[in-house]
Amino acid sequence: MKQETRMFGKIWPERDRTPATTINPPLYRGSTVLFDGYQQMIQVNRHEYEGITYGTDRLPTQRQFEEAMRELEGGAVTRVFQSGIAAIQTALLAFTRSGDHILVCDNAYGPGQRFCRKVLKKFDIDYTPVPADVGADIAQYIRPNTVLILLESPGSITFEIQDIPAITAIARQKNIITVLDATWATPLYVKPFELGIDVSIHSVTKYISGYSDVLAGTVTVNERNAETFAAFYKLMEIYTPAEECYLALRGLHSMATRLRQHQQSALTIARWLESVAIVDQVLHPALPSHPEHHLWQRDFTGSSGLFAFTFKKEYTDEQLTAFIDSLRLFRLGYSWGGYQSLLTAARIVRATPSRYAGKTVVRLSIGLEDCEDLRHDLEQGLALL
Ligand SMILES: *Cc1c(COP(=O)(O)O)cnc(C)c1O
């Protein structure tokens, strides 16, 4: 192996064998991808080459994670992105053009809506927010140039659920593409393609990676949109770091087990909160008191650890600060889905009529700590109000 003598630090002959078989796949980093001979480069020029040609051509670690997600979702094509928001942005760009109009449910991820308002607008793509609990009444918002509907169900702050099959049935008739941000439910608790959705998005940053140390997102599309989306992704020359793909793939293996615990603890705490005198509503889709509980029961197979609650009266910022800063186990932070329990609180502002407008919503991400400890933490904090 005369190549061996020219390689720094390589102790095995190139291409003959890998030095060890590990359970997790090797991590591929690279900009340059080497060809075996000039014949292959000729094939590239003729668009006949089927191998990987460049770092942005989806190296094997990335492809392996994409394939795992594609299989879990039951889609035709999955592509990975450097964040969930990048996944949303690219999906919107892939399926719209100047002069188009899109509908976005009003509880969709804020930065995604901001992208519609400020970036798509620059390209003369118009956007209308529709109520967060929209169903068949979406028809009244559809214009002749409406090409896409972006849904998020349940929404990740106020947890309204849209009637997805009613919306996709109407959209299908009018040739409108439906996109669902399914991050809350993960690929385990909702099957978007079975509900008629065309494009399924996940922020991998949350439960899929699971440890609050990865930013990534995926877009999975059905057969009819596979070619368009794969071609657009290629045009964008997106690079997702191999480490993120590796950690995401690793996270998938424990996701079902983690989620069972998140689900159980969150339900225990949500049910307890319903019995707390100063608590008004507990916004958890799996509780019978949730306004769209029947839709959750019909379309979802589980619930994750993220939910919220409101108070019977509005407290001052000082009072809320006393409650929130007294907590020992709940930390303050936005990106949920990890083992650490988190809290955020904000007054809800919506573009469309909302049952929560103007109310303070406290959102909890229930982590993997002992559930009784979490409950006690909240109990002592709420006692201060
Ligand atoms: C966090 C989140 C996103 C964005 O994901 P990032 O990876 O943080 O960019 C998109 N949608 C939902 C529902 C989210 O919770």
Cα–Cα distance, 200 to 198 (Å, whole number): 7
Give me the domains of the chain, ranges plus CATH numbers: 38-250 (3.40.640.10), 254-382 (3.90.1150.10)
Q: Which atom of ligand 1 is nearest to the CA of 112?
A: 10
pLDDT of residue 1: 46
Q: Find the 19 Cα to ligand 1 centroid distance in Å.
A: 38
- Residue 345's SS3 state is strand
Q: Find the 266 Cα to ligand 1 centroid distance in Å.
A: 20
Residue 325 predicted with pLDDT over 60: yes
* Average of per-residue pLDDT across 335-353: 96
Say how many CA atoms lie within 13 Å of 278 toward its Cβ. Answer: 13
Q: Closest Cα partner for 76 from 239, 227, 222, 283?
A: 222
Query: 222-272 pLDDT, tens per residue?
Result: 999 999 999 999 999 999 999 999 999 999 999 999 999 999 999 999 999
Residue 25 predicted with pLDDT over 50: yes
Distances in Å between the Cα of 248 and the Cα atoms of 64, 191, 205, 262, 366 are 10, 19, 8, 18, 20
Distances in Å between the Cα of 314 and the Cα atoms of 18, 225, 325 are 63, 47, 18
Q: Find the 235 Cα to ligand 1 centroid distance in Å.
A: 23
* Prediction pTM value: 0.95
Q: Extract the tokens encoding 293.
A: 């509980």
Say how many CA atoms lie within 13 Å of 146 toward its Cβ. Answer: 24
